Structure 1
Amino acid sequence: MTISVIAIALALPAGLRVFLTNAELLSDTWEGTADLSVYLKMDVDEFEARRLAVEVESRNDVSQVQLISSNQALEEFRTYSGLGAALEALEENPLPHSLVVKPAGGIEGNVEELVNTLESLAQTAFVQLDTDWMERLRGILELTRRLIDLATALLSLAVILVIGNTIRLEIGGRREEIEVVKLVGGSDGFVRRPFLYLGFLYGLLGGLMAGCLIALSLLLLGDPANSLAALYGSNYQISGLTLPETALLLGAGATLGWAGAGLAAVRHLRAFEPT
Structure 2
Amino acid sequence: MSLLFGNRQTSAGARQRQKLPWYRRLLMVPVHHLQQAVGSLGELWRNPFASLMTMAVLGLSLTLPSALYVLVKNTSAVSGEWQQASQMSLFLRKDIDSKTIETLRTQLSLKKEIETVSLITREQGLEEFREQSGFGETLDYLESNPLPDVLLVIPAEEFRSPAKAEALLKELEQAREVDFGKLDLQWLQRLQALLDLAKDIMGGLAILLCLSVVLIVGNTIRLNILSQREEIVVMKLVGATNAFIQRPFLYTGVWYGFVGGILAWFATAILIWWVEGSVLQVSELYQTQFQLTGLNLNEMLMIWLIAILLGLAGSYLAVRRHIRSIEPR
Shared fold (TM-score, shorter chain, > 0.5):
yes
Give, as a single letter, the amino acid of the residue that structure 2 aligns with 1:236. Answer: F
Q: Of residues 314, 317, 320 in structure 2, which corresponds to 1:260? A: 314
Deviation of residue 239 (structure 1)?
A: 0.8
Is residue 73 from structure 1 mapped to residue 133 from structure 2 by the alignment?
yes
- Determine the C-alpha separation between the residues in 1 that align with 2:278 and 2:175: 41
Alpha carbons of structure 1 residues 129 and 11: separation in structure 2 relative to 1, 3 Å: same
Q: Residue 214 of structure 2 aligns with which residue?
A: 160
Pairing 1:1-275 to 2, within 5 Å after superposition:
1-32=53-84, 60=105, 61-63=117-119, 65=124, 67=126, 68-69=128-129, 72-73=132-133, 103=152, 105=154, 113=172, 120=179, 129-275=183-329
1:224, CA displacement in angstroms?
A: 2.0
Shift of residue 274 of structure 1? Answer: 2.2
Which sits farther off after the overlay, 229-238 or 111-120?
A: 111-120
Task: Report the CA distance between 1:103 and its aligned residue.
Answer: 2.0
**CA distance in 2 between partners of 1:153 and 1:233 (Å):** 37
On the 8 A contact 2:85/2:188 being kept in 1, the answer is no
8 Å CA contact 1:203–1:257 kept in 2: the answer is yes
**Between Structure 1 and Structure 2, how many residues are aligned?**
237
- Tell whether the 8 Å contact from 2:65 to 2:205 is kept in structure 1 after alignment: yes
Which residue type is aligned with residue 191 of structure 1? I
C-alpha separation in 1, matches of 2:196 and 2:77? 14
1:141 to partner: Cα distance: 0.8
Identity of aligned residues (%): 32
Note closer, same or farther for the CA distance 1:117–1:111 as it changes in structure 2 (3 Å cut): farther
The gaps in structure 2 that reach 5 residues or longer are 1-52, 92-97, 106-116, 136-145, 160-164
**TM-aligned CA distance change 1:118 to 1:36, over 3 Å:** farther
- 2:224 corresponds to which letter in structure 1? E
- Residues 71 and 218 of structure 1: is their aligned pair in 2 closer, same or farther, counting only changes over 3 Å? closer
Q: Residue 289 of structure 2 aligns to a residue in which SS?
A: coil
Deviations 1:161-201 (A, max 9, x none): 00000001111111121111111111111111110000011
TM-score by length of 1: 0.72
Shift of the alpha carbon at 1:119? Answer: 8.4
Q: Kindly state the Cα deviation for residue 210 of structure 1 after the two structures are TM-superposed.
A: 0.6
Structure 1 position 147, deviation (Å): 2.2
Worse overlay, 24-33 or 163-172: 24-33
Report the residue type matching 1:62 in the other structure: S
Distance in 2 of aligned mates of 1:246 and 1:16: 14
TM-score under structure 2 normalisation?
Answer: 0.61
Alignment deviations for residues 197-237 of structure 1 (CA, whole Å, 9 cap, x no partner):
00011011111101111111111112322332343343232
Task: Say if 2:169 and 2:183, in contact at 8 Å, map to a contact too.
Answer: no
Deviations 1:89-143 (A, max 9, x none): xxxxxxxx9899782555776666479999849xxxxx86434222211111112
Equivalent residues of 1:10, 1:155 under 8 A apart: yes
CA contact 1:167–1:195 (8 Å) conserved in 2: yes
CA change 1:114–1:74 in 2 (3 A) is farther
The answer for unaligned runs of 5 or more in structure 1 is 40-53, 76-96, 122-126
Distance 1:134 1:209 in 2: 38
* Change beyond 3 A, Cα 1:70–1:168: same
Secondary structure of the corresponding residue to residue 103 of structure 1: strand
The alignment's C-alpha RMSD in Å is 3.5
Decide which moves more: 252-261 or 229-238.
229-238
Aligned amino acid, residue 323 of structure 2: L
Preserved contact between residue 36 and residue 100 of structure 1 (Cα < 8 Å): no
SS of the aligned residue for 1:238 comes to: coil
Contact residue 35 and residue 101 of structure 1 kept, 8 A: no
